[in-house]
Amino acid sequence: MSEKNIVDDAISKVNDMGTRAGDAIKDFKDSETAEKLADGIKRGAKTAVEGVAKGAKIAADGIAEGTKIASQTIKNNAEANAKKRASRRGTPFDQQSAYRTPNDDGKMVFMLRNGVAIPAVGYGSFLATEKEGKAVILDAFNEGYHYIDTAAFYKNEADIGEAIKESGIDREELFICSKVWPTMLGKDKLRESFEKSCSDLGVEYLNMLLIHWPKVSQKDEEWIPKLQESWAEMEDMYKEGKVRAIGLSNFLPHHIRPLLETARIKPMLDQLELHVGYMQEFTLKYLKQEKIMAQAWSPLGRAKMLEDERITALAEKYGKSAAQILLRYLIQRGIPAIPKASSPERMRENLDIFDFGLTDNEISFLSCITETGWSGEHPDLVEWE
Ligand SMILES: NC(=O)c1ccc[n+]([C@@H]2O[C@H](COP(=O)([O-])OP(=O)(O)OC[C@H]3O[C@@H](n4cnc5c(N)ncnc54)[C@H](OP(=O)(O)O)[C@@H]3O)[C@@H](O)[C@H]2O)c1
């Protein structure tokens, strides 16, 4: 009942009482007593109406506040339930907008389909430790990298392990990704490779594990069943909590399709050679459809793209370096990158790409240039054995 209705109801009840009291005192002989009584009834009625009005207002306020709290609680519960449902299904992944997600300390992260956050820029460690060993990784930590990309093939996991230990950085703060070399595919060998990587790195779990290449050689006719068996083992390790994300590297659509035929969990990421001049648009389109995140290796085209005039012109326009333009391009395309750099200055420069933006037309222009700077490593043609 509204505040007004309560008051009207009270007034009508008091009037009713007044009328009945009036009738009852009609027969009084002493009219003075009758008037006093009538006055008393009037005053009583006024006080009663005021009291009812006040009470009604308090009640109405209380009801309004209660309704507000109840509807907020319903909204909060609905949101929490929606989040729970989303996390059970896997967070919806949108490659185009993923780069906008800042994590707690403001660093840019991308969100994998399973809700795992992956830094937008990681440190690529291939050939990085050859001269100075763990010192280079310690420099990278010092410059703000928390994400290290390595692989069994790089033979530097022990150096990285020493750096992790010496840095004193909390394990939970780090994102460590390793890869299984294609000669180690198959259930047991894959597990063995993973365990050796963890032991060299001195870690209990990996943030991400990738299958490095789909096959060792063109001659390998067994590559599909081998991959399917290996993927099942990756899924088991994921379920055991030994790896927080599982994915692929150098897989093209025709390598991913047979894997998906038997997969129970879809790969979360595919690490590919991607840079201005080699954007593999056909594969990117397929990955987007399948909600598999693309990640860029050799994002600077192994330094070959740094002298390109189209890049240096933009570098001049924005007062940035060519490397920063190349990395910013990838991030704006929604693609995380793992550049390798040897000096602290370059490491720092490669992280400093979040204070400017290329225009849509510049992104389009850079996406449409003819093929430049490709490494020549094609997943169907390389021979690793
Ligand atoms: N999954 C795969 O199959 C695969 C294959 C290749 C690479 N990767 C990963 O991707 C990472 C990066 O790829 P990448 O090393 O081949 O190529 P990249 O990162 O495109 O280029 C590295 C080259 O660029 C130079 N450089 C870096 N930052 C620079 C800057 N700010 N200014 C000027 N020069 C700069 C480096 O020189 P300095 O070192 O002398 O500073 C180095 O010569 C690897 O380390 C590895 O982790 C994965």
Co-location of 119 and 69 in the same domain: no
Co-location of 69 and 175 in the same domain: no
- The pLDDT, as a whole number, for residue 99 is 41
- Give the residues across from 179 on adjacent strands: 210
Compute the distance from residue 333 Cα to the ligand 1 centre, in Å. Answer: 19
Query: Residue 62: inside a domain, yes or no?
Result: yes
Q: Whose CA is nearest to atom 14 of ligand 1?
A: 298
Query: Residue 237: inside a domain, yes or no?
Result: yes
Written as six digits, the tokens of 114 are: 């399973």
Query: Residue 372: inside a domain, yes or no?
Result: no
The beta-carbon contacts of 186-190 under 8 Å, at least 24 apart in sequence, are 186/226, 186/229, 186/230, 187/229, 187/230, 187/232, 187/233, 190/230, 190/233, 190/234
Bridge-based pairing of strands 175-180 and 208-211 is parallel
How many beta carbons lie within 10 A of that of residue 332, not counting itself? 18
- The pLDDT, as a whole number, for residue 61 is 74
Q: For ligand 1, is residue 303 a contact (CB within 6 Å)?
A: yes
Q: The CATH number of the domain where 311 resides is what? A: 3.20.20.100
Q: Whose CA is nearest to atom 10 of ligand 1?
A: 297
- The pLDDT, as a whole number, for residue 384 is 87
Compute the distance from residue 272 Cα to the ligand 1 centre, in Å. Answer: 13
Co-location of 34 and 75 in the same domain: yes
Co-location of 115 and 72 in the same domain: no
Mean pLDDT for 308-316 is: 98
User: Could you tell which of 123, 148, 251, 298 is best to mutate to test the pocket of ligand 1, judged by most ligand atoms within 8 Å of the CB?
Assistant: 298
Query: Residue 348: inside a domain, yes or no?
Result: yes
Whether pLDDT at 10 is above 70 = no
- Supply the angle between the helices 344-351 and 322-332 in degrees, to the nearest 10: 40
Co-location of 51 and 150 in the same domain: no
Whether pLDDT at 228 is above 60 = yes
249 CA closest ligand 1 atom index? 1
Distance CA(102)–CA(263), nearest Å, equals 31
Distance CA(237)–CA(255), nearest Å, equals 21
Co-location of 67 and 154 in the same domain: no
With left for phi above 0 and alpha for psi between -120 and 50, is residue 334 left, alpha or beta?
Answer: left
User: Could you tell which of 300, 329, 347 is best to mutate to test the pocket of ligand 1, judged by most ligand atoms within 8 Å of the CB?
Assistant: 300
- Supply the angle between the helices 157-167 and 187-201 in degrees, to the nearest 10: 40
Query: Residue 359: inside a domain, yes or no?
Result: yes
More confident residue, 40 or 54: 54
Model confidence at 290, pLDDT cuts 50, 70, 90, reads: very high
Query: Residue 381: inside a domain, yes or no?
Result: no
Q: For ligand 1, is residue 126 a contact (CB within 6 Å)?
A: yes
349 CA closest ligand 1 atom index? 31
Co-location of 149 and 46 in the same domain: no
- The pLDDT, as a whole number, for residue 88 is 39
With left for phi above 0 and alpha for psi between -120 and 50, is residue 158 left, alpha or beta?
Answer: alpha
Residue 176 in 3-state DSSP? strand
Q: Whose CA is nearest to atom 21 of ligand 1?
A: 302
Query: Residue 97: inside a domain, yes or no?
Result: no
Co-location of 245 and 361 in the same domain: yes
- The pLDDT, as a whole number, for residue 180 is 98
Q: For ligand 1, is residue 375 a contact (CB within 6 Å)?
A: no
Compute the distance from residue 174 Cα to the ligand 1 centre, in Å. Answer: 20
pLDDT tens-place string over residues 162-212:
999 999 999 999 999 999 999 999 999 999 999 999 999 999 999 999 999
Bridge-based pairing of strands 109-111 and 117-119 is antiparallel
Nearest to 179 by CA among 219, 142, 204, 152: 152
- The pLDDT, as a whole number, for residue 20 is 60
Whether pLDDT at 268 is above 70 = yes
Q: Whose CA is nearest to atom 1 of ligand 1?
A: 249
| CB-CB contact of 131 with 141 (8 Å) | no
Compute the distance from residue 65 Cα to the ligand 1 centre, in Å. Answer: 60
How many distinct structural domains can be found in the chain?
2
| CB-CB contact of 181 with 151 (8 Å) | yes
| CB-CB contact of 165 with 202 (8 Å) | yes
pLDDT tens-place string over residues 133-149:
999 999 999 999 999 99
Q: For ligand 1, is residue 339 a contact (CB within 6 Å)?
A: yes
Average pLDDT, the chain: 85
Co-location of 75 and 179 in the same domain: no
147 is catalytic: no
Co-location of 79 and 113 in the same domain: no
Whether pLDDT at 371 is above 50 = yes
pLDDT tens-place string over residues 51-61:
656 755 765 67
Distance CA(321)–CA(33), nearest Å, equals 102
Query: Residue 208: inside a domain, yes or no?
Result: yes
User: What b/e readout covers 340-366, taking b as 16+ CB neighbours within 10 angstroms?
Assistant: bbeeeebbbbbbbbeeeebeeebeeeb
Compute the distance from residue 165 Cα to the ligand 1 centre, in Å. Answer: 24
Bridge-based pairing of strands 293-297 and 269-273 is parallel
- The pLDDT, as a whole number, for residue 161 is 97
Percent of all residues in the chain with a pLDDT value above 90, rounded to a whole number? 69
- Report pTM: 0.77
Q: Domain range spanning residue 345?
A: 109-367
Q: Whose CA is nearest to atom 19 of ligand 1?
A: 339
Co-location of 205 and 271 in the same domain: yes
Compute the distance from residue 196 Cα to the ligand 1 centre, in Å. Answer: 25
Distance CA(109)–CA(118), nearest Å, equals 5
Nearest to 304 by CA among 331, 276, 328, 283: 276
- In sequence order, the 6+-apart residues with CB closer than 8 A to the CB of 318 are 324, 325, 356, 358
Would you call 144 exposed, middle or buried from its count of C-beta atoms within 10 A (0-12, 13-18, 19+)?
Answer: middle
Compute the distance from residue 123 Cα to the ligand 1 centre, in Å. Answer: 9
Co-location of 215 and 342 in the same domain: yes
Q: For ligand 1, is residue 311 a contact (CB within 6 Å)?
A: no
More confident residue, 27 or 67: 67
Point out the catalytic residue in the list 154, 238, 278, 286: 154
- The pLDDT, as a whole number, for residue 132 is 87
53, 86, 119: which is the final residue of a domain? 86
Q: For ligand 1, is residue 177 a contact (CB within 6 Å)?
A: no
